[in-house]
Structure 1
């Protein structure tokens, strides 16, 4: 709750991200996935791809798989084959 960042330019974010350790990056991605999961319950948005991506980047592969698979199936069902493959 105390760690909140806003970047005026994407390059600043990219430089700071590159300087983080691998462990710190994984922990941050895990936290982001948790926050998005909580938002998911209060909205009609489809967050599966984003949650899955953050879990994957957090090296929580078995947790990421169901989200990524569901996101791919939803994308395929809407005719978004490129997004489904990604």
Structure 2
């Protein structure tokens, strides 16, 4: 979010997390306006956003682990072939 560049991957059927409030702050929107908007979001929606965020982090961590395993497997194959 530091650059405001999209960092998402489209995953069909998987909800994503909104960074609207953080982006609004980063772009310099008046804090009172952002706080008012946040107050309009229900607690249920906030909890949902938190769960989605945790799921996204878990998915990224698993993807990293899978990529590490793939690299290790490729290296092991190279060693066996030598």
TM-score of the superposed pair, with normalisation by structure 2: 0.37
- Between 1 and 2, higher relative CO (CA 8 Å, sep ≥ 6) is seen in 2
Rg comparison, structure with higher value: 2
